[in-house]
Amino acid sequence: MTNHWIDIGNSDVILIMGSNAAENHPISFRWVNRARENGAKLISVDPRFTRTSSKADIYAPLRSGTDIAFLGGMINYILGGIDGTEHIQTEYVKEYTNASFLLNTNFSFDDGVFSGLTGITYDQGAWAFQTDEAGEILKSVDGDGKWSLDDPNCVYQFLKTHYSRYTLEMVSGVTGTPQEKLLEVYQAYVNNCHQPDKAGTIMYAMGWTQHTVGAQNIRTMSIIQLLLGNIGVAGGGVNALRGESNVQGSTDHCLLFHILPGYLKTPQDIWTDLATYNESARPLTTGESRSLNWWKKTPLYMASFLKSMYGTAANPDNDFRYDWLPKIDAGVNYAWQPLFDAMYNGTVKGMFAWGQNPACSSGNANKVRQALAKLDWLVAVNIFPTETAEFWRGPGMEPASINTEVFQLPAAASVEKEGSITNSGRWAQWRYKAVDPPVNPDDENQKAKPDSEIMNELFLAVKALYEADGAATFPDPILGLKWDYFDGPDIPSVMLAKEINGYNLDEVGNPTGLVEKFTLLAEDGTTSSGNWLYCQSYNEDGNNMARRIASDPATDPIGLNSEWAWCWPINRRIIYNRASVDVLGNPWNESRRVIAWTGEGWEGDVPDGGAVPLKDADGNYREGTYLPFIMRQHGVGQIFGPMKDGPVPEHYEPLESPFAVNPMGHSQRLNPAVYVPPADEMNAVASPGGTEYPIVCSSYRLTEHWQTGVMTRWAPWLSELQPEMFVEMSEQLAAEKGIANGDRVLVKSARETDGVQAVAIVTKRFKPFIIQGQTVHQVGVPWCFGWVAPAMDSTRVTSGNLLTPNVGDPNTRIPESKAFMVDVVKEV
Amino acid sequence: MLLTRREFLKTSAVTAGVAITGMGFALHPVEAHAVELRKNLEEATRTTTICPYCAVGCGFVVDSAEDASGKMVVINIEGDSEHPINQGTACSKGSSLYQLANNENRLTTVRYRAAGAAEWQELSWEEAIPMIAQRIKDTRDATFKTVNAAGRTVNRTLGIGSLGSAALDNEECWLYQKFLRALGLVYIEHQARN
Amino acid sequence: MANGKSYLCDTTKCIACRSCQVACKQWNELDTLHTSNRGTYENPHDLAWCCWTLIRFKETERPDGTLAWDFLRNSCRHCMDAPCKQATEHEGSITIDAETGAVIFNEGTKDESYSKIRLACPFDNPRQGPDGQLYKCVMCYDRVHNGELPACVKACPTDALTFGDRDVILAAAEARLEEVKADGFPNATILDKRDVRLLLLLADPASYYVLNTRDG
């Protein structure tokens, strides 16, 4: 979230699309209601009428996988292509975005493809802006030299042209949403938040990300929010409702192949030393002289990270042991999909599944289960039994033929240990230990342990083996790792929290105190910081993440709660907040002020970068100040922004869809940058427009269960509420199929041809779409069920992800589990 | 944040009742003790926590007390009225947190499934950790590459992968990535991509 | 007792997260029923000795073509003049808490006729446990006496459930009713407000909701 949960209450209009917030983030509705009490409109756009839709002022259905078409129409409306009136926040768009930047004249979009495509790979250089001899980007300017939107080669004019194709008729012909409903949504959203003092927000989740156009779904909304001046302001932003308690923190600490803690790029083979890394892993030049380009500080953060990793072994004269870090091959992807392919083909032989249940959570879970069976060993760490740890006796598996050794280690639950987690609004909050982890009642030596204690025991055991083996392969990073914790029986989470924050170091590398904030980190080895983003989370005067001062609405009307816990970066509660003020530093809306310029400094939230306003009190542009979007290379919001699959979004059909051609009328059916692996027996794909699997399906979660249900299915009170797998379908489809409400049915896809067993919920909340003159049915399945709990029964084929494909977005590689094709038959 | 309930109530209960309902909720806890709470929270130890389910980050208060054997057990978990996001409220998952702490299906035993076996067998922690460590070393040593096909330094193993975990605390995430990257893993993934 | 306490259940704010259902079980330490999916989100299929609060789901198409998915809390309404108590044959089996007005089933209900007590309830709430005792919502009167909100009310994330002095709740209910009427639901109503302590504010016609009544 650029903003945070409480801030939703500041909105004038709320769009919930790509998420089902009432269902999956019920407490968010406390703040949705707060906004509504103040007159905000609530809009729900979803293929299915949901618990969220039940409370909305406007509900609009759309076919799964057509969000870009839906929102592309909204962009067209904003730009005047539908009612002839532009509905943009003009000053914001001109001053704070790249709308005025000039595109090269050879840039093109032709028959569904942008310039620069070879195979499935775009050359992003083909989308570069025009520059002068000094490398400064050329802009559309008016007679006074101010940025304008008029030059035919500027981004704004390209945007107008590109989205002029997204007429109500065209969009409706893609999405299945009635034209009058489209217009109603566009008007309700845009007309309530394009004014400078109004704010609209978007609440989205995996309903947008889990598509072959997932990242571009979010880009489309980001463009809308920039055009409407909604980013940086209270009640605005682009807000991903994250689904796991610490998926934000685990992403910040980068348990991911492509990034190191604090979103530093993972070293590649071609970056052969630290100097090369520091030159290559960040933008060096910006093309915009007023851009602060925050990532230029990468070398400070990298040196501090390496000091935290390798301690006194890391010094300037040995590149801080940069060579000890594992490197990826440039251009090769090591994400979830390729990982399981590598496991399936035998490259990956050992595996940790630490607090995750891929046998149910992964797209194409059948292939995942077969891949697990090819491992030599699997270590699973959990608080309850899972389908992953038990995969060898799951549905259709023959234990005798599976040679994987499995270790199941029992872990402590959240109330049995101490530490911090980071919520979707970037608040790192400390939690305390209440009781010891459980002990086996029959054997007091058997007990669950905190994860950090398990990691410690494992690492020390591995290290001992390497110490004992003089001929071991490259033991240096293991033997040299800074691992100096745990000198007593208690696990000192606080010690780790301080290491993440970082220390000032003396000349021999001993800590002299905690670094106060990341602006004080150094490149020369005099500071450590495990994660620069978390620098300031733990200061000499205490643990900021443990703060418990909720603010008084009288003095904090927008609910920043700046002294409750701590939030990254540097306790800034609303990111890009320097766009919440005009060029003089005055809030667009004084009553919802995030920051304001007093003439001498900023007051309010921690300002983004802290530079003075763009103009002085006399209205003249200042020298030496910075544009508000400090994390972006050019310092401005990127209406035109390079992604792997294009600089602006275009509607493409999902990998599996009811249409063999793109209803947009060009010949590019599928996102051209998507990698589709060769189809094999474990990776089948339904043919577009085919008759075998004619029904659109989406997967989703339920209020009563969490993710694969591997914690909640074990909670009897929750399993009482949602006991078993179901599929929701319209009354019309049920009638066609001879299915009655409550019948047992099978849901089949190209990857699960025998079918997933489910109870039919026949509902008015799904309605067939009429698209391109054809009836398109849609159904939906939850993915929170399995066969281990609430009762062990390997005859139950009930996981929704057995149906989903594992092909996904070219930017993120997240699989397309929100739009795929199935058939439904009554179980006989 | 170890408070007795009485200390906690000084700040939370009275204000919570009034602030949340705005409905003139006006019983005075100090005076009204004719009816006892069905759970003896008076004697309980109170700690605060954050919900382990979704990423709203709701605050909860955990009351713990000694059971008959003298072991501290959780006796009640409900919303933290001081927490600015959830203000004492919860969803159905949050309201069920008690059953995470008190659940007969919780894993408490190290289990090992041998190649080809149809059942689990029990191992002690002291047996399991060296067994796992040996497998890590064997696989790492057999698959470790100091240089790739292009002859460039990579110092990595593609033979071991890791999945997880958005369920860990930040401090554990940091420690876990440190452990994995020291071993040379690049196949590191978690729930953000799934 | 002055006027005791009351709840307002404002269905316009309910998102059917069923936190109330679980919070009730958590505080009152209630057992779990083995359930199945019957083609609806609603579960268990009925109130039970260990299910004192149940959210009912119903889908109805409104005349204007929009869909209503209405959620309604089923639980003891805590009658001002409780017919269940009038139907007792043993002193003290059902009592009215002096402070709050809560209708409380005591251990002595074991000796009452289950069918007679259940039939006496206009809202069909009492259920018999395996121990023979009759059970239903008790307004968490132990919590209320100790300055805490009933567990369900405290847990409700959207303030669909509120609780307080009866006079205050009645006034708030009337004010909210006017808001809801002005917000496009001219036929909104508050059910049984003079007779019970759990007030139900409905936006849509009563037929759009699953009401718990003796007549089914």
Task: Choose the closest CB to A465 out of B71, B109, B137.
Answer: B137
> Considering the domain boundaries, does residue B113 fall inside one?
no
Q: Please check whether residue A418 is in contact with residue A433, taking contact to mean a CB–CB distance below 8 angstroms.
A: yes
| E strand residue ranges, A457-600 | 503-505, 511-514, 538-539, 542-543, 566-567, 595-597
Identify all chain B residues contacting C17, using CB atoms and an 8 Å cutoff.
91-92
pLDDT at A491: 61
Tokens for A700, please give them. Answer: 């989703």
Neighbours of chain A (3+ CB pairs under 8 A): B, C
**CB pair distance less than 8 Å for A339 and B52:** no
Report the distance separating Cα A789 and Cα A714, nearest Å: 6
Identify all chain C residues contacting B16, using CB atoms and an 8 Å cutoff.
149, 154
| E strand residue ranges, A560-620 | 566-567, 595-597, 602-604
Q: SS3 for A791? A: coil
Q: What is the DSSP string of A274-305?
A: HHHHHHHSS-S--S-TT---GGGGHHHHHHHH
Identify all chain B residues contacting A248, using CB atoms and an 8 Å cutoff.
55
The dihedrals phi and psi of A758, each to the nearest 5 degrees, come to: -150, 160
> Considering the domain boundaries, does residue B135 fall inside one?
yes
Identify all chain B residues contacting A421, using CB atoms and an 8 Å cutoff.
50, 52, 57, 169-170
CATH number of the domain within which B88 lies = 3.30.200.210
**CB pair distance less than 8 Å for A703 and B171:** no
Same domain flag for B128 and B186: yes
Q: Terminal CA-to-CA distance of chain C, rounded, Å?
A: 33
Residue of C nearest to A60 (CA): C66
Task: Choose the closest CB to B25 out of C29, C146, C164.
Answer: C164
Instruction: Tell me the C-alpha to C-alpha distance, in Å, between residue A222 and each of A157, A174, A544, A577, C52.
Output: 18, 21, 31, 15, 46
Q: Please check whether residue A382 is in contact with residue B111, taking contact to mean a CB–CB distance below 8 angstroms.
A: no
Same domain flag for B25 and B50: no
CA distance B93 to chain A (A): 6
Identify all chain B residues contacting C22, using CB atoms and an 8 Å cutoff.
92, 95-96
Residue of A nearest to C41 (CA): A722
Task: Choose the closest CB to C157 out of A26, A54, A725.
Answer: A26
Instruction: Tell me the C-alpha to C-alpha distance, in Å, between residue C170 and each of B132, C143, C191, C195, C196.
Output: 65, 22, 12, 12, 11
Q: Is the pLDDT of residue C216 over 80?
A: no
Alpha carbons within 13 A on the beta-carbon side of A199: 30
Say whether the ipTM exceeds 0.90. yes
Same domain flag for B171 and B157: yes
**Interface of chain B toward chain C, CB-CB under 8 angstroms:** 9, 13-14, 16-17, 20-30, 32-39, 76-79, 81, 86, 88-92, 94-96, 98
Task: Choose the closest CB to B189 out of A245, A252, A336.
Answer: A336
Alpha carbons within 13 A on the beta-carbon side of A200: 29
CB neighbour list of residue A711: distance below 8 Å, 6 or more residues apart: A383, A384, B52, B53, B100
Q: Mean pLDDT across the stretch C102-117? A: 98
Task: Choose the closest CB to B171 out of A342, A429, A452.
Answer: A452
Whether C25 contacts chain A with CB within 8 A: yes
Same domain flag for B79 and B137: no
Report the distance separating Cα B171 and Cα B190, nearest Å: 16
pLDDT at A490: 56
**CB pair distance less than 8 Å for C16 and A54:** yes
Q: Please check whether residue A821 is in contact with residue A656, taking contact to mean a CB–CB distance below 8 angstroms.
A: yes
Residue A57's nearest CA partner among A111, A119, A12 is A12
Same domain flag for B158 and B173: yes
**CB pair distance less than 8 Å for A761 and C159:** no
H-type alpha helices, A520-603 = none
Report the distance separating Cα A704 and Cα A727, nearest Å: 16
Whether C182 contacts chain A with CB within 8 A: no
**CB pair distance less than 8 Å for B112 and A406:** yes
pLDDT at B177: 98
Q: Mean pLDDT across the stretch B105-109? A: 98
Identify all chain C residues contacting A722, using CB atoms and an 8 Å cutoff.
37, 41, 43
The dihedrals phi and psi of A293, each to the nearest 5 degrees, come to: 55, 65
**CB pair distance less than 8 Å for B35 and C165:** no
Identify all chain C residues contacting B23, using CB atoms and an 8 Å cutoff.
8, 162-165, 168-169, 172
Residue B86's nearest CA partner among B49, B114, B62, B58 is B58
CB neighbour list of residue C80: distance below 8 Å, 6 or more residues apart: C101, C194, C195, C196, C197
**CB pair distance less than 8 Å for B189 and A531:** no
Residue A48's nearest CA partner among A7, A17, A76 is A17
B128 lies in which domain range? 124-190
A interface test, pick of C10, C12, C13, C17 with most A CB neighbours within 10 Å: C17
**CB pair distance less than 8 Å for A763 and C13:** no
**CB pair distance less than 8 Å for B37 and C26:** no
Show the CA angle centred on residue A81, arms to residues A75 and A86, nearest 5°. 75
Report the distance separating Cα A363 and Cα A58, nearest Å: 32
Report which residue type is found at B41. L
| Nearest-10 Cα torsion for B99, B103, B106, B108 | 130
Tokens for C147, please give them. Answer: 């300055």
**CB pair distance less than 8 Å for A722 and C25:** no
Q: What is the DSSP string of C32-71?
A: -------SSS--SSS-BTTB--EEEEEEEE-TTS-EEEEE
Q: How many CB atoms lie within 10 A of CB A483?
A: 19
> Considering the domain boundaries, does residue B101 fall inside one?
yes
**What is the dihedral sign for C-alpha A183, C16, A358, A435?**
positive
Q: What domains are there in chain C, each with its CATH number?
A: 5-78+141-208 (3.30.70.20), 83-135 (3.30.70.20)
pLDDT at A293: 92
Residue of B nearest to A374 (CA): B115
> Considering the domain boundaries, does residue B112 fall inside one?
no
| Domain count along chain B | 3
CB neighbour list of residue A415: distance below 8 Å, 6 or more residues apart: A431, A433, A434, A435, B47, B49, B62, B74, B77, B97, B100, B101
Task: Choose the closest CB to B191 out of A247, A350, A496.
Answer: A247
> Considering the domain boundaries, does residue B119 fall inside one?
no
Identify all chain C residues contacting B96, using CB atoms and an 8 Å cutoff.
22, 26
Identify all chain A residues contacting B5, using CB atoms and an 8 Å cutoff.
none
> Considering the domain boundaries, does residue B179 fall inside one?
yes
> Considering the domain boundaries, does residue B118 fall inside one?
no
Same domain flag for B79 and B102: yes
**CB pair distance less than 8 Å for B100 and A715:** yes
CA distance C22 to chain B (A): 6
A to B CB pairs, distance under 8 Å: 490
pLDDT at C44: 97
Q: Is the pLDDT of residue C205 over 80?
A: yes
Tokens for B39, please give them. Answer: 């759970």
Same domain flag for B28 and B54: no
**What is the dihedral sign for C-alpha B40, B46, B51, B57?**
positive
Instruction: Tell me the C-alpha to C-alpha distance, in Å, between residue A454 and each of A409, A464, A465.
Output: 8, 15, 17
Same domain flag for B131 and B88: no
Instruction: Tell me the C-alpha to C-alpha distance, in Å, between residue C50 and each of A306, A432, A707, C23, C30.
Output: 57, 32, 27, 12, 5
Q: What is the DSSP string of A151-167?
A: -TTBHHHHHHHHHTT--
Tokens for A742, please give them. Answer: 């409550």
Query: Of B74, B106, B138, which marks where a domain is finished?
Result: B106
Q: Is the pLDDT of residue B4 over 70?
A: no
Identify all chain A residues contacting C55, using CB atoms and an 8 Å cutoff.
none
Same domain flag for B128 and B101: no
**CB pair distance less than 8 Å for A721 and C21:** yes
Instruction: Tell me the C-alpha to C-alpha distance, in Å, between residue C182 and each of C15, C173, C176, C178, C186.
Output: 21, 14, 10, 6, 7
Instruction: Please identify every stretch of chain A with a pLDDT value under 50, giving residue numbers as ranges.
Output: none
**CB pair distance less than 8 Å for C19 and A54:** no
Same domain flag for B97 and B130: no
Distance of CA C32 to the CA centre of its chain: 19
> Considering the domain boundaries, does residue B130 fall inside one?
yes
Same domain flag for B34 and B2: yes
Residue B182's nearest CA partner among A379, A319, A352, A474 is A474
DSSP structure class, residue A705: S
Same domain flag for B16 and B61: no
Distance of CA A306 to the CA centre of its chain: 26
With residue A326 as reference, give the H or E element that holds it: none
